[in-house]
């Protein structure tokens, strides 16, 4: 995927962004992602399993995340982690948001003065 294509896919939807942020810290399985997203958003974003796995399918397809078998648990569950492409795209999105926040803060301050 070229940089232009990545930039075209921004801004990310809030659930996708939160899933990527959740996986940026450490690899997680589906249930852990759901709980982490809920915790990070203070309960504002609560994903259903249908929404979560729809997003996971797209992220796997675009090679933003990868799947592996979690060996630490007895159940041998599938877990997910960010690929280098996913991490780079997340960074691009964070940079975009930072730029927007800076701009908004500046404009709001100018308007007040």
Partner 1 sequence: MLNAYQLLLRLYPATYRAEFGEEMAAVFEDVRTDSGHNAFAARAVFYVREIVGLVSGAFREHLHFRFNAPDVSLFPRGFTVRNGFRFPRATPILMAIILAGVILAIRKGEVIATSLPPFSQPVTPIHPAHSYLLPGVFEGFIFFYAAGLIGWAIVFALRRSGVHRLRDVSSGSK
Nearer to partner 1, 69 or 95 (CB): 69
Tokens of 26: 């450490």
Nearer to partner 1, 38 or 83 (CB): 38
d(CA 8, CA 112): 34
Instruction: Give the interface with partner 1 as residue ranges (CB under 8 A).
Output: 29-31, 34, 43-54, 56-58, 77-78
Q: Residue 106 CB, nearest distance to partner 1 (Å)? A: 27
* Cβ–Cβ < 8 Å for 29, 52: no
Tokens of 81: 């982690």
Nearer to partner 1, 2 or 13 (CB): 13
Q: Residue 70 CB, nearest distance to partner 1 (Å)? A: 12
């Amino acid at each position: 995927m070229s940089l232009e294509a990545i930039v075209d896919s921004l801004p990310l939807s809030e659930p996708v962004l939160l899933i990527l942020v959740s996986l940026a810290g450490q690899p997680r399985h589906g249930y852990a992602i759901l709980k982490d997203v809920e915790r990070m958003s203070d309960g504002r974003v609560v994903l259903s399993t249908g929404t979560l796995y729809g997003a996971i399918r797209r992220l796997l397809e675009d090679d933003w995340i990868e799947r592996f078998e979690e060996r630490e648990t007895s159940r041998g569950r599938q877990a997910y982690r960010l690929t280098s492409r996913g991490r780079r795209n997340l960074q691009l999105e964070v940079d975009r948001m930072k730029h927007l926040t800076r701009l908004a803060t500046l404009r709001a301050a100018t308007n007040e003065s």
